[in-house]
Amino acid sequence: MSLNEKNAAFEQIKALDAVLENLSKDLEASKLKETKKDLRNQLQEIREVVNSVVLLLRNVNSLNLQNHVIAELNNVAYRQI
């Protein structure tokens, strides 16, 4: 993974985080309690996945992804399918 690719990934994650923040604010304005609770839980799960990916990307010290990092990223991705 090149430095440009890593930076691009962080930018995409930052954009996703902004979308999640906006959804969270919109959700809090909602009056539908049951839906609100379910969606809040789903948003939290998504944020946990995003945070896992950020931690993995931060641990990539070299410009080459090592097999265990690739395996962890795949694990995070497939767990959410």
pLDDT in tens, 3-57: 777 778 888 888 888 888 888 888 888 787 778 888 888 888 888 888 888 887 7
64 against 33, higher pLDDT: 33
Amino acid in position 4: N
Please name which of 61, 44, 51 lies closest in space to residue 3, comparing C-alpha atoms: 61
Place of tokens 């959804």: 23
The DSSP symbol for 62 reads: S
